Structure 1
């Protein structure tokens, strides 16, 4: 029977302690020399184990400070036609929404390129908090101006459209790496330049008319993107960026 490598034994032990709550998020691991003594391994073996745990998202190694148990990340799934809050609540996350702005405006050119020429559209600006922490800044432009007076703080935008008899058929979404700007950094309470995902999503009705254009800035230190692939399920296409 093959012998389990020493670093894998360390990975298994620390992962069990982290997932079981013995090592809670944010707690510091003992110094590496102490861990080497505790596990009876060399520094190279220990570091191999710590790297794997960091790759799995369980640990965070911070230069000059030490190794810490990582905060759990919420996952934004790309294989379902749901809003951000619905995705996260389905995973048991606590999500709240702050409405930062909700008014009728003439769409700028970059929005009209997605929704078509509209005299007015409803601009909805929201801040999503996951477990009380700012995680997503979302700017939505909605062709249906009848929602201008609706309370959307606790209601899915898709559900609000359905209540008005507007059915959502499909959505096209692109996600690119980005960084927080001055404005989004202030809202998400992070330094300017912090890594982020920038999602652009166009949602279409049954007749393929564009209904909603969303631009979401997703804090990369809080969330991750997860894709599940099956033979009959999600199809992922990679395209070259010029």
Structure 2
């Protein structure tokens, strides 16, 4: 029951938040349709949407146009400061990551590797990597559904020592829409990374489109270092 003088939408948000935190609505699950919720609480759609907006601002739910309202899944973290792969970082945290290889083929002696990363059945990252010759040919037959690209390079004697990476906000580009199953105006991050070997030769050029509703960027600053991480939702 709402406290005296408390706006109705705020009481609804408090009730829904308690159910989310208590596990009544599981992480990643869909909330009932807005019309059903408004009926069960005995309020108008406008009042219900005010409550949902508050939950969204608190990071408890994610609203996906045309699909519904979902409970925010647990946070993930990707250490941008390391040369490990995103998949390795997430698996170390106990998250199940599924990789689907769209294509892996030689193009002008370079390997073009296209993959989709899924967390708990939700496609979240569309990634295209180019491996420069002469190393590309040795990787054509690698099973990249289970083997990380950096691991494959190390196996053939090509260690990587540094990388430059730029992350920019954008909206979902057309080529990625079919793989991430989201509309054109969906917010995303676009990560472009170039990785180098010990002799400073460029070996991998990588571009990843990452759903903005799946991850966010956080930074931890200390007196002697700056640690950047991806954190977000699966």
TM-score, normalised on structure 2? 0.73
- Specify every segment of 5 or more residues in structure 2 that has no aligned partner in the other structure, as ranges: 1-5, 229-234
1:19 has 2:21 as partner: yes
Match of 1:225 in 2: 216
Match of 1:162 in 2: 154
1:122 has 2:114 as partner: no
Note if contact 2:160-2:198 (Cα within 8 Å) is conserved in structure 1. Answer: yes
* In structure 2, C-alpha distance between the alignment counterparts of 1:103 and 1:32, rounded to whole Å: 54
| Secondary structure of the corresponding residue to residue 216 of structure 1 | strand
Q: Residue 157 of structure 1: CA displacement? A: 0.8
Match of 2:139 in 1: 147
| Secondary structure of the corresponding residue to residue 229 of structure 1 | strand
* 1:109-129 Cα deviation digits (max 9, x unpaired): xxxxxxxxxxx3111111112
Cα 1:220/1:61, change in 2 over 3 Å: closer
Q: Residue 203 of structure 1: CA displacement? A: 1.3
* 1:170-210 Cα deviation digits (max 9, x unpaired): 22111112222332111222223322211101112223222
Moved segments of 4+, more than 6 Å: 6-13
Note if contact 1:101-1:123 (Cα within 8 Å) is conserved in structure 2. Answer: yes
Note if contact 1:26-1:71 (Cα within 8 Å) is conserved in structure 2. Answer: no
1:135 has 2:124 as partner: yes
TM-score, normalised on structure 1? 0.71
| Secondary structure of the corresponding residue to residue 166 of structure 1 | coil
Cα 1:159/1:16, change in 2 over 3 Å: farther
Q: Residue 51 of structure 1: CA displacement? A: 4.6
Note if contact 2:150-2:160 (Cα within 8 Å) is conserved in structure 1. Answer: yes
Note if contact 1:74-1:93 (Cα within 8 Å) is conserved in structure 2. Answer: no
Alignment RMSD: 3.4
Note if contact 1:175-1:199 (Cα within 8 Å) is conserved in structure 2. Answer: yes
More strand by share: 2
| Secondary structure of the corresponding residue to residue 54 of structure 1 | helix
Cα 1:171/1:150, change in 2 over 3 Å: same
Q: Residue 219 of structure 1: CA displacement? A: 1.9
| Secondary structure of the corresponding residue to residue 76 of structure 2 | strand
Alignment of 1:99-110 (within 5 A): 99-106=101-108
Q: Residue 139 of structure 1: CA displacement? A: 0.4
Match of 2:81 in 1: 79
* In structure 2, C-alpha distance between the alignment counterparts of 1:90 and 1:205, rounded to whole Å: 25
